[in-house]
């Protein structure tokens, strides 16, 4: 889950809907503020349902970067959050399946209630499968299979960026070994993308060392510096099927 810039308008009433202990031991809080929902961890604002522009843009850009004519695309999304990334993928005509890996069981459970309205209850779509697992562990297991399932698009929206991980163990996703695992799960011609709250030059350099094509997309947000989406394709060392 990511840090998004939120706000509380003076006229909006804030109601705490749930307060639970998360998988990392911290306190997770779901609030409704006016017509929107907010998620906090240990008092730190993580995300809300007010915008979602950059999450949606990450998915759109990834799908548009696929080879022309690609259909029945399989999409893997790291992080359910408020569901905007999964919804964008499910609404795309090229997509036939969306797998989502989410660490927090309570976040998934909240989608059965009011929070689910924000993205039209994505997990109820028969094309969508949500796995309640740690993304690092899930990727390691998936990549270790003799013939792993492959995805046309892999979107990682689990952290605030390569240099600001929500879970310490997630730093593996942004290292060479993590990129190699992700490459093993990427279908030929597939696209790997990462969401970040800011640009990280060292991570871009690492991507360029492992992929032939790397694009950095800046997404303007309502407040603060632009979000950054990294798109990578054509791995320099393809894993055999």
Query: How much is the pTM?
Result: 0.91
Q: Are 56 and 68 spatial neighbours (Cβ–Cβ below 8 Å)?
A: no
pLDDT for position 238: 60
Q: Are 82 and 118 spatial neighbours (Cβ–Cβ below 8 Å)?
A: yes
Q: Which residues are catalytic?
A: 157
Backbone angles phi, psi at 215, to 5 degrees: -125, 135
Q: What is the DSSP letter of 68?
A: T
Q: Which of 213, 144, 203 is nearest to 170 (CA)?
A: 203
CATH 3.40.50.150, the chain: domain bounds:
53-235
Element (H, E) at 53: helix 53-64
Q: CA angle, corner 173, sides to 172 and 179, nearest 5?
A: 110
CA distance 157 to 10: 30
* Secondary-structure percent of the chain, ordered helix, strand, coil, rounded to 5: 30, 35, 40
Q: Are 157 and 81 spatial neighbours (Cβ–Cβ below 8 Å)?
A: yes
The per-residue DSSP string of 85-142 comes to HHHHHHTSTTEEEEEEEES-HHHHHHTTTGGGGGGT-GGGSTTEEEEES-HHHHHHHH
Please list the pLDDT of the chain residue by residue as tens digits (241 residues): 344 444 444 567 899 999 999 887 889 999 999 999 999 888 878 889 988 899 999 999 999 999 998 999 999 999 999 999 999 999 999 999 999 999 999 999 999 998 999 999 999 999 999 999 999 999 999 999 999 999 999 999 888 788 878 777 888 999 999 999 999 999 999 999 999 989 999 999 999 999 999 999 999 887 778 999 999 999 997 644 4
CATH architecture of the domain 53-235 equals 3-Layer(aba) Sandwich (3.40)
Q: Are 64 and 30 spatial neighbours (Cβ–Cβ below 8 Å)?
A: no
pLDDT for position 11: 64
């Amino acid at each position: 889950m990511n840090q998004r810039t939120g706000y509380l308008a003076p006229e909006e009433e804030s109601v705490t809907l749930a307060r639970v202990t998360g998988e990392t031991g911290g306190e997770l809080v779901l609030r409704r503020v006016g017509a929107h929902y907010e998620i906090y961890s240990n008092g730190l604002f993580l995300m809300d349902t007010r915008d979602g522009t950059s999450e949606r843009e990450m998915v759109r850009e990834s799908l548009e970067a696929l080879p022309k004519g690609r259909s029945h695309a399989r999409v893997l999304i790291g992080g359910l959050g408020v569901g905007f990334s999964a919804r964008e993928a499910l609404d795309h005509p090229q997509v036939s399946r969306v797998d989502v890996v989410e660490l927090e069981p309570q976040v998934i459970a909240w989608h059965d209630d009011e929070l689910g309205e924000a993205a039209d209850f994505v997990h109820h779509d028969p094309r969508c499968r949500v796995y309640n697992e740690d993304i690092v562990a899930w990727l390691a297991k998936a990549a270790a299979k003799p013939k792993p399932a492959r995805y046309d698009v892999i979107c990682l929206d689990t952290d605030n960026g390569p240099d600001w991980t929500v879970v310490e163990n997630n730093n593996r996703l942004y290292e060479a070994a993590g990129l190699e695992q992700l490459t093993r799960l990427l279908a030929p011609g597939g696209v790997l993308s990462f969401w970040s709250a800011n640009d990280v030059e060292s991570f871009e350099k690492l991507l360029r060392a492992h992929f032939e094509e790397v694009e950095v997309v800046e997404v303007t947000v309502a407040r603060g510096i632009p979000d950054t989406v990294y798109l990578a394709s054509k791995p320099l060392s393809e894993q055999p099927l």
